[in-house]
Amino acid sequence: MKVLMINKFLYPNGGSETYIFKIGEYLQKHGHEVQYFGMEHEGRCVGNRVNAYTSDMDFHGGSKLAKLTYPLKTIYSKEARVQIRKVLDDFKPDVCHLNNFNYQLTPSMILEIVKWRKESRHKCKIVFTAHDYQLVCPNHMLNNPNTHKNCKKCLGGHFLNCTKGKCIHGSTAKSFIGTLEAEFWKLNGAYKYIDTMICCSKFMQTKLDTNPLFAKKTVAMHNFIDKVEWKETPKKDYVLYFGRFSEEKGIATLIKVCKELPNIPFVFAGTGPLEASIKGIDNIQNVGFQKGEALEELIREARFSIYPSEWYENCPFSVMESQMYGTPVLGAKIGGIPELIQVSKTGELFKSGSAEDLKKKIQKLWNQKELTEQYSKNCENISFDTIDEYCEKLLKIYR
């Protein structure tokens, strides 16, 4: 089978890139052909045979002339159509797997795939993995960055609310461009050509399903995670938070609770805009950003970890990773988080944004050591899809 992976970034940049690289590598190992289409960039590490890519669009840099043309290019890209056509004519894929493409590549590619499919009479399935809420929310988070409140006003195609709320970088102009982009493709109907939309949580699926066109195409599949070796690890007396120190992650609420529980030691591992607010709190040890073996050890040795998010998380890797390493999770009851925790078996939930409920649950777990030890043992039986299991499901969708 020939698969064309489409993503705006073709270099390590975030979760969607990790996703396409790992899936591409798996497919190639199992005899399938994989090529990639996206933007050209000095760090690009995958590509296609004809070396056809769109120009790199850097919204935070570039010349004044380039910046003047960006608004139109973020809505419709003739260049993307021309370049992807070269790949389609040469590679003749059986599947075009779309990932993050809005603004830099634009949905105009879909129209070219459909045109090529018709002219060549080649059967080619169009699959899309939703890594965020972009197709139903122009700022892709269902969260107003100005108020830090979750927002569903655009659901159902009411995209003018993005402009009213200045939801993209707090800018009326940028938010208006986001509204235009969403309205243009809603009217154009390009998304109707997508055969299957993969959502990384059931929660995300419910949000995409608010569009009747999408509701017939969505399927929920949690992200895959590398299988890790189970180790009986002696626990140490601390509660762990690892991740970004930012408003939407619920850090402000967690810090407030930490101050009210001076006898419980907390370890914070990460970095972010709210890092300064952690300083001077005696029972919080900030070890900074950690990765690899150092992070693994921190997770394995914690009594339990906390995931206090206050926005609509989809399928947070940290929640899965913690349990895979044998550490139960106290997670916020929001977004896709509850789908990943077996309540009263591998962790517990608290009301997102509620300092009172979070404090109560932390005290409960801290004071009942035998309970957290049992939760930790239960984590040995936790099961998330490996890359093999995930790709087995994916190949069924492709076929």
Q: What is the predicted pLDDT for the residue at 114?
A: 97
β 266-271/239-244 pair status: parallel
Fold entry, domain 2-224+388-398: Rossmann fold (3.40.50)
Mean pLDDT by groups of 10 residues along the chain of 399 residues: 97 90 97 97 95 81 49 84 97 97 92 96 96 94 91 94 94 92 91 96 96 94 90 94 94 96 96 92 94 95 97 94 96 97 97 97 97 96 93 96
Residue 197 phi/psi, 5-degree rounding, is: -115, 115
Cα(186)–Cα(182) distance, rounded to whole angstroms? 6
- Look up residue 167 and give its amino acid: C
Where exactly are the structural domains of the chain?
Answer: 2-224+388-398, 239-381
pLDDT single digits (tens) 201-247:
999 999 999 999 999 999 999 999 988 888 889 999 999 999 999 99
The answer to whether the 2-224+388-398 and 239-381 domains have the same CATH topology is yes
Chain position carrying tokens 């309205």: 183
- φ and ψ of 6, to 5 deg: -120, 125
Residue 145 in contact with residue 170, Cβ under 8 Å? yes
Handedness of CA 97, 101, 105, 108 (dihedral sign): positive
Q: Distance (Å, rounded) from C-alpha 76 to C-alpha 60? A: 20
Closest by CA position to 250, among listed 289, 277, 229: 277
Task: Assign 292 to helix, strand or coil.
Answer: helix
Helices (H) and strands (E) in the chain, counts: 14, 14
Closest to 100 (Cα-Cα) out of 157, 18, 28 = 18
Pairing of strands 347-350, 329-332: parallel
Q: For the domain made up of 239-381, give the CATH fold.
A: Rossmann fold (3.40.50)
Tokens of 141: 């988070």
Q: Which are the contacts of 306, defined by CB distance < 8 A and separation ≥ 6?
A: 239, 240, 241, 254, 329, 330, 331, 358, 362
- How many angstroms separate the CA atoms of 90 and 86, rounded? 6
> pTM of this prediction?
0.91
**Residue 68 has what pLDDT?**
47
